[in-house]
């Protein structure tokens, strides 16, 4: 038996009000009024496909220190930040995976996440039935749209992750079907930022309507399952009721169609089928059959059967947890700025050369990308950044530090500041000293916060984010930031408490 052994997801905290978008563009595009309901997920300025993929993978992996079972990493996206750098390699560093992991980037189609799952299953099968080796599939997208377009309202940002293996399988893989057809429903030329879309009726009738049923039928035949037996039918689409029409055409019961989260999240692109799957698995019961399908340069579908082991796995937050953490954003110009479609005045303080010393970044990659500190094996003191020298009460020690991971540890705000004098993409700029549980203190930036969210004593957790954008050289630098712990068990003191 091979299949899914874990799942996770991620949605940014910000949810852009569609009403705000419609109202801002009413002078130009009054026809968008009918799309002005609900919200769409909006990545913060310091989030991109890579940081969201890290967040989804961490939601899956949890705080486990031993991740040696992850032997393959596949990162699927159509909006990866680097065209000639292994984005999956950055993902591996952020997750502190071993450097002998086989990692690869995949793109080129909206169904690339399902293609990555199929490839990951093949890798797991090749490892052998008794192997504990797993394949991590992470998918994320943060797509650009043209202002006052339907896509600006339909799209959303997000990520999902699956762990595939042969031990502790929670959803057994039964079969798949795939078609590779150069049917162009939309495209984005190399060097361009925004998709060009073809006419909706053509895409519905000639594309989805004819290609998807063939892929679904092939998957069901290989799985030995009848369409009417499917309990959860997953098909993301920005076309209203297209999932229900496809289910009917394939012989799947209407009640099996999974919620696409269109009203609150929007279509997140390549990861959306896996994001929906992660949400379905959180409530699925043993024996249920799940069919997940996606359209793009052809069609792809996979069938899984939920096992008794489903109750033994839970993600750290889960898709519903991320949904509950959302905060509505009604500022349309903030959305445009975060999407780099509105260049605001930065002042002289924003005129800085942000060149990255690549050699230094490489030497300290574990500390920078993995947030790995050093813990003195003699005194127990935690030092960040780690170094060869430990200094405690006037007694310097040399070469006594061992790696000490901080990314999965929470901390407490010791002191903080919020200032608007220096340039920041989301003012005011929040930063302060964070004391980590188990030792260690770092001066950190805070993100996903509004005025009053940070105070001395606020509990925070770590999030992998964009640190700086070197626009002169086209380079993105990453580091970790602190976000308030949000949830029923979290203490969230506000300013003045």
Residue 474, number of CB atoms within 10 A of its CB: 10
Residues 218 and 352 occupy one common structural domain: no
Residues in the chain: 497
Q: Are residues 181 and 201 in the same domain?
A: yes
Q: Characterize the bridge pairing of strands 70-76 and 102-106.
A: parallel
Question: Tell me, what DSSP letter sits at residue 45?
Answer: T
Q: Residue 497 — pLDDT band, cuts 50, 70, 90?
A: very low
pTM, 2 dp: 0.95
Q: List the end-to-end C-alpha distance of the chain, in Å, as a whole number.
A: 54
The answer to whether residue 148 scores a pLDDT higher than 90 is yes
- pLDDT value of position 496: 32
- What pLDDT is recorded for position 485? 96
Dihedral over alpha carbons 128, 129, 134, 137 (to 10 degrees): 90
- 389 pLDDT exceeds 80? yes
pLDDT digits (tens, 9 = 90+) for 235-288: 999 999 999 999 999 999 999 999 999 999 999 999 999 999 999 999 999 999
The pLDDT value given to residue 384: 96
**Is residue 280 domain-shared with residue 355, that is, in the same domain?**
no
Which residue, of 282, 314, 338, is where some domain finishes? 338
**Section 226-241 average pLDDT:** 97
How many angstroms separate the CA atoms of 237 and 203, rounded? Answer: 11
- Is 86 found in the same domain as 129? yes
493: pLDDT strictly greater than 70: no
Q: Band of the pLDDT at 81, cuts 50, 70, 90?
A: very high
Give pLDDT tens digits for 172-209.
999 999 999 999 999 999 999 999 999 999 999 999 99
Instruction: Please tell me the predicted confidence (pLDDT) of residue 196.
Output: 94
Q: Does 179 reside within a domain?
A: yes
pLDDT at 490 over 90: no
The pLDDT tens digits of the residues spanning 459-487 come to 999 999 999 999 889 999 999 999 999 97
Based on the fold, state whether residues 328 and 365 are members of the same structural domain: no
- Check whether residue 150 and residue 91 sit in a common domain: yes
**Are 474 and 427 contained in the same domain?**
yes
What pLDDT, on the 0 to 100 scale, is given for residue 366? 96
496 within a domain of the structure (yes/no): no
Q: Say what percent of the chain tops pLDDT 70.
A: 98
- Mean pLDDT is lowest, of 130-134, 248-252, 393-397, for 393-397
Asked if residue 117 lies in contact with residue 137, where contact means CB atoms within 8 angstroms, the answer is yes
Q: What is the CATH number of the domain that holds 468?
A: 2.40.50.840
Give the pLDDT band (50/70/90) at residue 130: confident
Distance CA 424, CA 349 (A): 9
Q: What is the pLDDT of residues 406-457, one digit of tens each?
A: 999 999 999 999 998 888 999 999 999 999 999 999 999 999 999 899 999 9
Q: Do both 29 and 128 map to the same domain? A: yes
Query: In this model, does residue 24 exceed pLDDT 50?
Result: yes
| 149 and 297 in a common domain | yes
What span, in angstroms and rounded, lies between the C-alpha atoms of 98 and 383? 22
Total count of domains within the chain = 2
Give the residue numbers spanning the domain of 352.
348-371+406-484
Residues 315 and 232 in one domain: yes
Domain boundary among the residues 320, 338, 356 is at 338
CATH number at residue 219: 3.40.47.10
The confidence score (pLDDT) of residue 91 equals: 98
Query: 3-state SS string over 49-90?
Result: HHHHHHHHHHHHHCCCCCCCCEEEEEEECCCCCCCCCCHHHH
**In the predicted model, what is the mean pLDDT of the chain?**
94
The percentage of residues in the chain with a pLDDT greater than 90, rounded to a whole number, is: 91
* Res 346: pLDDT: 83
- Return the structure tokens found at 170: 């929670």
pLDDT reported for residue 106: 98
Say yes or no: 247 and 363 in one domain: no
Domain-located, residue 440: yes
H-run or E-run covering 15? strand 14-17
112 by Cβ neighbours in 10 Å (0-12 / 13-18 / 19+) ranks as buried
The answer on pLDDT for 233 being more than 70 is: yes
Whether pLDDT at 488 is above 80: no
Q: Are 94 and 155 in contact (CB under 8 A)?
A: no
């Amino acid at each position: 038996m091979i299949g899914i052994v874990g799942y996770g997801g991620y949605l940014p905290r910000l949810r852009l009000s569609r009403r705000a978008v419609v109202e801002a563009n009413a002078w130009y595009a009054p026809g968008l009024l009918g799309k002005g309901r609900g919200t769409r997920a909006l990545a913060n300025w310091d989030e991109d496909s890579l940081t969201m993929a890290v967040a989804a993978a961490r939601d899956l992996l949890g705080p486990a220190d031993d991740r040696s079972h992850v032997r393959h990493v596949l990162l699927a996206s159509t909006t990866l930040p680097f065209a000639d750098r292994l984005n999956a390699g950055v993902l591996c560093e952020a997750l502190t995976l071993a450097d002998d992991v086989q990692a690869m980037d995949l793109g080129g189609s909206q169904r690339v996440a399902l293609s990555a799952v199929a490839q990951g299953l093949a890798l797991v099968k090749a490892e052998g039935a008794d192997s504990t080796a797993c394949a991590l599939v992470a998918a994320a997208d943060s797509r650009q749209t043209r202002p006052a377009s339907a896509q600006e309202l339909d799209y959303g940002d997000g990520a999902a992750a699956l762990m595939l293996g042969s031990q502790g399988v929670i959803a057994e893989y039964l079969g798949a079907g795939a078609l590779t057809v150069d049917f162009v429903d939309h495209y984005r030329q190399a060097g361009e930022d925004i998709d060009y879309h073809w006419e909706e009726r053509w895409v519905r009738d000639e594309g989805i309507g004819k290609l998807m049923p063939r892929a679904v039928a092939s998957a069901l035949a290989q799985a030995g399952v009848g369409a009417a037996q499917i309990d959860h039918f997953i098909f993301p689409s920005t076309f209203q009721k297209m999932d229900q029409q496809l289910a009917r055409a394939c012989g799947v019961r209407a009640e099996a169609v999974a919620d696409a989260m269109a009203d609150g999240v929007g279509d997140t692109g390549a990861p959306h089928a896996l994001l929906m799957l992660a949400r379905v698995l959180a409530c699925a019961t043993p024996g249920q059959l799940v069919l997940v399908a996606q359209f793009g340069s052809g069609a792809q579908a996979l069938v899984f059967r939920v096992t008794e082991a489903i109750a033994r796995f839970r993600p750290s937050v889960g898709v519903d947890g991320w949904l509950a953490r959302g905060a509505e954003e009604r500022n349309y110009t903030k959305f445009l700025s975060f999407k780099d479609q509105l260049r605001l005045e930065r002042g002289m303080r924003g005129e800085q050369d942000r060149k990255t010393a690549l050699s230094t970044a490489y030497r300290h990659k574990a500390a920078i990308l993995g947030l790995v500190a050093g813990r003195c094996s003699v005194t127990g003191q935690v030092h960040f950044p780690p170094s060869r020298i430990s200094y405690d009460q006037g007694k310097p020690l040399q070469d006594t530090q061992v790696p000490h991971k901080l990314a999965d540890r929470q901390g407490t705000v010791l002191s903080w500041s919020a200032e608007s004098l220096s340039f920041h993409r989301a003012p005011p700029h929040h930063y302060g000293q964070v004391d980590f549980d188990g030792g260690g203190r770092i001066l950190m930036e805070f993100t996903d916060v509004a005025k009053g969210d940070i105070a001395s004593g606020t509990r925070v957790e770590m999030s992998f984010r964009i640190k700086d954008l070197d626009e002169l050289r086209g380079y993105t630098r990453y580091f970790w930031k602190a976000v308030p712990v949000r949830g029923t068990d979290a203490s969230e003191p506000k300013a003045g408490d």
